[in-house]
Each structure stands twice: as structure tokens, then as C-alpha cells.
Amino acid sequence: MLKQITVTVNGVQHTLEVEPRLLLVHMIREVLNLTGTHIGCDTSSCGACTILLDGKSIKSCTVLAVQANGKSITTIEGVAQNGELSPLQEGFKENHGLHCGFCTPGMILRATELLANNPNPTEEEIRWGIAGNLCRCTGYNNIVKAIQYAGAKMRGDELPSTEPEFV
């Protein structure tokens, strides 16, 4: 029993026939071939699958594709505009906020909403703000720096140093 849905993904409208049980993350990865969104768990814990659904960060492994009917989705592939990196993408690169890169798409999308709601977060607010996203490689310090860097860039403040504080 397939259901027809219409979703806008990174600005492009798609009309798809999907099984009601199809998870949104699988629709994104398997049906639309947008493989930047990752799967890191089976209990909604890791956040590697985080995307924006109508501007809100959600774990796409925990939403059915049919629930996205009529909604608008942003995945990591839709973050850069006209080939220009978003402040967060730039922040992650400049501050070494990624190693293996597996959590990175989810982190960036989660942080996109975080900064939209709170343009100048404290370190503690950032850490709590990304507590739904696990990273096994970076130890988070540089992710915090990356988000601070992006916040500064978006506010038009002076950019913080990206030199490692390696005494």
C-alpha cells in the first residue's frame, strides 16, 4: 500500500510514492540519493540523521516519510548556497570541527537551528544545544569553536582565532 507524498527538498519539489513505514532518513538517502545524511544508531540517540524539517532540526530516523508530506526539508547538500559555504560549514573547516566527517552533516544542521534561535549562545548553551548529536572523533571542543565562529560571522563580529590553543 503506497502513499503519495509531496516534499520540497533543498528547494526542489518531489512527488513520491512511499510505503507508510518508510523512515524519512531512508527516503532521503535511498530514494533521493542524498547520502550526506547519515545513520549512526537505531534508538534516536546519535543525531547523525539530523535535518531541517520546515526549519526545525529533527532526527530523520524518527520521522516517517509520509509525515513530511507537504513540508520542506533541508539536508546538508542544500546548506551551501550558489557554491558558497554557510558560516557553519566554514566554521567547521576553519576550526577542525570534524575528523571522520560522519557526524558532521547532522551537527551542522542542528547548529543551524541553534544559531537561528540563539544568535550568540554561550559555550554551555552550545554544549547543551548539541547534546542530541554524538561525535566519536573530535571531543566536541572544536565543534563548540566552530559554532562560535559561525555565530560571530553571522553577527558580523570579529572572527575568533582559529589557531589551535596548543600550549
Partner 1 sequence: MIQCKTSKEIGGMGHSLKRKEDIRFIQGKGHYVDDVKLPGMLYMDIVRSPYAYAKIKKINIEEAMKVPGVVAVVTGKDLEKYNLHWMPTLMSDTQMVLPTDTVMYQAQEVAAVIATSKYAARDGREAVKVEYEPMKPVIDPFKSLDPGAPVLRSDKEGKKDNHIWHWEVGDKNKTDDVFAKAEVVVKEQMHIPRIHVASIETCGCVADYDKVNNHLTMYMTTQAPHAIRTVIALVAGHVGLTEEKIRVISPDIGGGFGGKVPVYPGYVIAIAVSFLVGKPVKWIEDRSENLQADSFARDYHITAEMAGTKDGKILATRFKILADHGYTDASANPSKFPTGMFSVATGSYDYDTTYMECDAVYTNKPPGGVAYRCSFRVTEAVHAIERITDRYALEIGKDPAELRLQNFIKKEDFPWKSPTGWIYDSGDYHKGLLKAMDTVNYHQLRAEQAEKRKRGELMGIGISTFTEIVGAGPSKDFDILGIKMFDSAEIRVHPTGKAIARFGTKSQGQGHETTYAQIIAEELGIPAENIQIEEGDTDTAPYGLGTYASRSTPTAGAAAAVAARKLRDKARKIAAYLLEVSEDDLEWEPGKFFVKGAPEKSKTIQEIVFASYTNHPPGMEAGFEATHYYDPPNLTFPSGAYICVVDIDKETGAIHVRRFVAIDDCGNIINPMIVQGQVHGGLTQGIAPAMYEELIYDEAGNILNGTFMDYLVPTAVESPKWETGHTVTPSPHHPIGAKGVGESPTVGAPPAIANAIVDALSPYGITHLDIPITPFKVWKALKEKGVV
Please report, as ranges, the residues that interact with partner 1 according to CB under 8 A. 19, 21-22, 26, 29-30, 33-43, 45-46, 48, 75-77, 79-80, 85, 89, 92-94, 96, 98-105, 108, 123, 126-128, 130-144, 163-167
Residue 15: CB minimum distance to ligand FES, A: 25
CA 166 to chain centre: 29
Q: What is the grid cell recorded at 162?
A: 582559529
CB of residue 136 to ligand FES, shortest distance in Å: 4
From 1-9, 94-102, 145-153, 158-166, span contacting ligand FES (CB under 6 A): 94-102
Q: Among 8, 113, 125, 137, indicate the residue that binds ligand FES (CB under 6 A).
A: 137
Q: Which residues on neighbouring strands pair with residue 16, listed in sequence order?
A: 5
CB of 41 to ligand FES, least distance (A): 3
Between the CA of residue 130 and those of 60, 75, 91, 110, 139, what are the distances in Å?
16, 17, 15, 7, 12
Q: Which partner from the list ligand FES, partner 1, none does 59 bind, CB cut-off 5 to 8 Å by kind? A: ligand FES
In the complex with partner 1, which residue's Cβ is closer, 71 or 129?
129
Listing DSSP states for 10-64 in one string gives: TTEEEEEEE-TT-BHHHIIIIIS--TTS----SSS-S-TTEEEETTEEEEGGGSB
| Count of positions on this chain that bind ligand FES (CB under 6 A) | 22
Element (H, E) at 9: strand 3-9
3-class secondary-structure state, position 84: strand
Q: Which option in partner 1, ligand FES, none does residue 80 bind, with CB closer than 5 to 8 A by kind?
A: partner 1
| CA Rg value for the chain | 16
Applying CB under 6 A, which residues contact ligand FES?
A: 39-41, 44-49, 59, 61, 98-104, 135-138
